[in-house]
Amino acid sequence: MTSSELLYSDPLAAAAAAAQEIIERTGAASHDVALIMGSGWVSAVDALGTPVYECNAEELTGFLPPTVEGHSGKVRSYSIEADGKSLRALVFLGRTHLYEGKGVEPVVHSVRAAVKAGCKIIILTNACGGINTKFSVGQPVLIRDHISLTAVSPLSGATFVDLTDLYSKRIREIVKQEDATLEEGVYVHWRGPTYETPAEIHMMRTMGGDLVGMSTVPEAIAAHALGAEVLGISLVTNAAAGVTGEKLNHEEVIAAGKAAADRMGALLKGVIPKLF
């Protein structure tokens, strides 16, 4: 059976196989935290220092090569020494999205592999459109809750999982102690790859959405279902459709992410040791 066949036929077995490969390649019996870096976020992880290991994700069981600009498809392992703690962080530079048409299993494979590799906390980052007009371009926002407009779940069968505290309140409070200026918002999951119409954004705002993007929600559900705590951070890289009247483009998303990289990197570096 090929790597991709295993991913679709038995996704948890594929995740366990990838986790074992990560353990063997990194020499770490377990990792503590995993970070999934969204569009424009890649350079933020440089604040963690020099990785002790790096490989192309597609070398590991079940991972597909990246197809989206701003997603490098690398997997890194970092050793973090701070506050008297010694931690290992697993970083995925990029992700697979639902709009790539490959199904939900590749979308959530990285977080499942991370949990199988020992990660108790999953940090999900993304680039998003700002629905709430009080949020400005370049502003990071903690995800408090989400609204899914895709009707897609990584879970199947009679798997009933409570999502009340999907985005860990405990972790959000710690992050806000690190940066008291951070605000929270409700993230709306949009399949893409088309951006939303102004009418759709009006609908999302009426429903209570503050942010809109094309990732994060399936990963959050998959990680939570396996027992991990989840932190979601959105970077507002553009005003959502109809807010300013300007057209949307992916280059704008990448540029805004890079511009905020230093602040995001410092935030991640400072907060990770405090989560344990």
Show Cβ contacts of residue 92 under 8 Å, excluding neighbours closer than 6 positions. Answer: 34, 35, 36, 37, 57, 74, 75, 110, 114
Q: What is the rounded distance in angstroms from the CA atom of residue 129 to the CA atom of residue 132?
A: 9
How many CA atoms lie within 13 Å of 26's alpha carbon, on the beta-carbon side? 28
Distance CA 9, CA 105 (A): 10
The residues annotated with a catalytic role in the active site are: 39, 71, 97, 99-100, 127, 214-215, 238, 250
Backbone dihedral region for residue 109 (phi beyond 0: left; psi -120 to 50: alpha; all else: beta): alpha
Q: Tell me the C-alpha to C-alpha distance, in Å, between residue 3 and each of 9, 50, 62, 175.
A: 10, 29, 5, 37
3-state helix, strand, coil in the chain (%, to 5): 35, 25, 40
**What's the sign of the alpha-carbon dihedral 236, 166, 109, 45?**
positive
List Cα–Cα distances, 49 to 45, 56, 265, 273, in angstroms. 8, 19, 10, 14
Joined together, the tokens standing for residue 216 give 């994060």
- Tokens 């299993």 -> residue: 105
DSSP class of residue 234 equals E
